[in-house]
Each structure stands twice: as C-alpha cells, then as structure tokens.
Structure 1
Amino acid sequence: MEAAIVIMALLFFAFVALGVYATVKVVKAAKRGVDRTIHQARRTVEDTTLRAKSFGQAGVGGDLAQLRLSLRTSMRATQDALQAGVAEDASLKESFDLFQRLTAHGRELDEDLKRLEREPDRARVAAQLKDLRERTERITHAADSLRWAARDRARQFAEDDLTSLSAQIDLEAGALRHWSGATAQDQASDDFSWPDAGAGAPGAERGQVWPGEADGRATASASAASASAASESAEADGANAGQRPDTAAPGQQPPQAITARDPRRTAYPWEKTARPETTN
C-alpha cells in the first residue's frame, strides 16, 4: 500500500514538473513572438518615418534620413539573403560571418546618423555629411557585393541542376521513344497488308512478286524437278528392264546378271539366253 502511494506521488510530481516545463516553453515562445512582432512594427514605423523625411524634408535632415534609409535597406536585404542561403549552402557560413562584422559597422553608422538628426548645429552636421555619405556607400557596397554574390551562386547552382535535369530528361525521353530508331525495312513490314482473297493481286500483270511468293515458287520448282527426275529414273529403269542384254544401246553397259555363268560350261547353239523378266 505504501509503495502504491509513493508511486502515485512520484507520478503526480512528474506530471506537475512536465506541466511547468511546458508552460515555461510556451511562455518563452509567446514572448519571442511578441518581441519579434514589436520589433517588426517598430522597424516598419522607423522606415516609414525615414522615407517621409527623405522626401518631405529638405536640407541636412532629409540627407541624413536618406542615408539611414539606404543603409538599413541594404543591410536588411543582405541579412535575409545570407540567412536563407546558409540553410541550403554551408559554404556561405564564412560570408555570413563577414556580414556579422560588417553589421557592427553598419549599426555604429546608423547610431551616428540618428544622433546627428537631433543635433541643433546644422552647420557642423553639414560639414560631416560628406564623410558620412562615403562611409554609408562603402558599407552598402560591401553588403550589396555579398548579397549579389550569394544570389549569383544560388542561380548558378540552379542552372547547373537544370542543365543536368534536362539532359537526364532527354535521355529518358529517347529511351521511351525506342521505336523511332526502327529501320525502313521494319517499317515497311509493319505497313504491309495482304490483298483480299477474292481480289486479284495488284501488279501481277507486271510480274510483281509478293513477299513470300518467291520462296513458295522456289519450293514448288524444286518439288517439280525432284518429281520429274524420279519419273525419268523410273522410265529409264523400265526401258532397261525391257531391253535384251545383247541389244543394249551403244555406249551403255548391259545389266549384269546376279549369278555369273560357269566358265567351264560350253554353250550350245540351240540354247538361248533367258529374258530378265523370266528369270527367277
């Protein structure tokens, strides 16, 4: 029982600690969101005020407002570009570190310009205006160089990737169109169609031979030649069988008997040679 109570107490304290931790995290996230919103609103108000002063106020005040506006715009655009690039390209980390060092000079210049806006001695401010403009141009030029270099790098990577992707797509498209490389003979075979059974073969009068007809004719000719040769051989055998051995055609060997005559026997005049068809 006591063990169960201890376990329940530990679970209770664990849930309480977890709730406190979650509450602190939520409060901190909400505070960061509020601070970010306030900062953005304050920056928007300052930019709007500087833009209004640069267009509506003449003299030294308008010049100072114009310098501050150009400085803030260039630095903010470079910061956004480098922060977005570092997340995708780790090689921009060094460029971002250089920009952080440049940001310190930019903030210092912005503070000087803001302080000079409240300076009552306008003549003294006008004397320093040339130096302030040169500092502003140097800082904005450096920031613009980093920003455009990062954008050119990202664009070059995108073009290289697009070129490689286009080459792969062309290769795949060629593989899908593999039938386009067929020979003209294959295409002619695919386009060939036999004539109807009842219709006459076109071009027969001109001696045109259809595909496969030449092989059929050659086979038929060979069969006819074989049959003719066999018939002639049979006729020749029959003719030879009907002839007498002693009346064989000139230059033709008479058929030999199966059993040779006995050379010791004398042939009498009244004995005649038996015909082949009567020989058993």
Structure 2
Amino acid sequence: MEAGALVIIMALLVLFAFLGLGVWATVKVVGAAKRGVDRTIHQARRTVEDTTLKARSLGQVGVAGALAQLRLDLRTSMRATQQALHQGVRTDASLKESIGLFERLSAHGQELDDELKRLEQEPDRKRTAEALPDLRERVGKITQAADSLRWAARDRARRFAEDDLSALSEQIKMESGALRDWSREPVDDLAAAAAAWDATQAPGQGGRQPSEGQGQAAPGNRPQALDPAAPPARHPWQKAPRPESTT
C-alpha cells in the first residue's frame, strides 16, 4: 500500500512539474510576442513621426520649421549612433563602455526632444523664437557628442579590419612562397633514392656475395674467348642502331 501511494505521489509531482514548465514556457512565449508587437508599434510610430518632421521642416517656415528641423537632426544623430554602437559591440566588447556613455547622453537627448515637441504646441511664437538660439546650441552639443562616439566606433572597426587584412595578406604571401618552392624537392628525392640504392649494393649491407665455386668456369665448360670483331653485347634498354645507307 505504501509503495502504491509513493508511486502516485511521484506521478503527481512529475505532472505538476510538466504543468509548471508548460505555464513558464507559455508566459515566455507571450512575453516575447508582446515585446515584438511593442517594438513593431514603436518603430512604426517613430517612422511616422520622422516623416512628419521632414514634411514640417521642408514645408513650414519660421519657428515651426526650425523646431521640426532641430528635432529631426537630434533624432537622426542619436539613432545612427545607437545603431553603430550596438552593431559594433557584437564583435568588440570594449564598446560596452561607449554604450554606457551613450545611454547617459541619450537621456539628455530624450529630454530635449520632449521639450522641442512641447514647444511645437506653444502658442507664444515670440518667446519660442527667442529660445531658438539656446535650443540650437543644446542640440549641437548632443549631436556633436553622439557623432564623436559613432565615428570613433567606426574608425576602430575599420582599423581592426585593416590590421586583420594585413596579417592575412602576409600569411597568404608566405604560403604562396612555400607552395612555389619546388626546386629542391626533386633533387632531394633523387639523392635519397641514390643513397638507398648504394646501401643495398655495398658488401655486407644486403648485397649478395658470390658463394664458393661461383664465378669459376666448370671443367669442360670454359668460356669462349671474345672475338674482337664480334659486336658488343647489347642491353635490353639500348636502342637498335639505325641501318646504314646503301646509297
């Protein structure tokens, strides 16, 4: 009875674990989907707002056009720097500190953008026009700082790419030289083969020695004297002489 109860308890625990895992996975999926939807809505809203600012900066004159141009310059610079830093940190971890500085700068930029947005609805155009020089100066400081971070990150990435390309080119040059150094290989092979042949033919180094009685003609079987007029013995690899012309 106790064993059966223990089995039931273990089965319930496993079931609850699976249910909990399923709930956790569902929450994660829903959260990721919600973040994706929010990001899409934010991007669409930002695109619409940027398009509106471009239209205002080109189509309106006076204070309204100046405010729209300031917001457009500020947002364009901040967005380009953010994109450059977040792309660069994927391959260069040292840019994390730069991202931290940019986030602090971004807080000032967001505050200034909100102020410019409020001034677009300000009915007192005279006071807004008087504030334009100060607003331009503040926008210039933020965009200059953002541009400095962006170009520094790009220069760093380009320098790393140039150094890597130089090292790779040098390695390829050395490898190409090694591949073309074939002049000594055949000579070394022939020398090694000749040395091996000489070693097998030397006495006591594997060469065959004539046994006793070998090399002497058997009685009654003496070798015939060589006829000086007879043609020399031919080796199999020698070519047959060309026939002399009878003309």
- Is 1:131 matched with 2:134? yes
Q: Secondary structure at the match of 1:120?
A: coil
Q: How does 1:188-203 map to 2 (within 5 A)?
A: none
Amino acid at match of 2:43: Q
| Counterparts in 2 of 1:198 and 1:68: CA distance versus 1, 3 Å | farther
Residue 172 of structure 1 aligns with an amino acid whose one-letter code is E
RMSD: 2.0
Partner of 2:60: 57
- Describe the superposition over 1:131-172 as per-residue Cα deviations: whole angstroms up to 9, x where unpaired: 111111111111001100000000000000000000001111
TM-score by length of 2: 0.72
1:101 to partner: Cα distance: 1.4
For each residue in 1:219-278, what CA deviation from the matched residue of structure 2 results, as whole angstroms up to 9, or x when unmatched?
xxxxxxxxxxxxxxxxxxxxxxxxxxxxxxxxxxxxxxxxxxxxxxxxxxxxxxxxxxxx
Larger Rg, first or second structure (1 or 2): 1
Unaligned 5+ segments in structure 2 are: 188-238, 243-247
Match of 2:173 in 1: 170
Q: Determine if the alignment matches structure 1 residue 17 to structure 2 residue 20.
A: yes
Q: Which has the higher contact order (CA 8 A, sep 6+)?
A: 2
Aligned in 2, Cα 1:41/1:198: closer, same or farther, shift over 3 Å? farther
Partner of 1:258: none
State the one-letter code of the partner of 1:27.
V
**Which residue identity is paired with 1:74?**
S
The code of the aligned residue for 2:38 comes to: D
1:165–1:197: structure 2 CA closer, same or farther, 3 Å change rule?
A: farther
Task: Describe the SS at the equivalent of 2:155.
Answer: helix
TM-score (norm 1): 0.64
Report the counterpart of residue 118 of structure 1 in structure 2: 121
Deviation at 1:198, TM superposition (A): 5.0
1:240-251 → structure 2 map (5 Å cutoff):
none
Distance verdict in 2 for CA 1:174–1:123, change over 3 Å: same
| 1:81 partnered with 2:87 | no
Among 61, 84, 98, the alignment partner of 2:101 is 98
Q: Paired residue for 1:160, among 163, 166, 176?
A: 163
Structure 2 matches for 1:142-153, cutoff 5 A? 142-153=145-156
- The amino acid that maps onto 1:13 is F
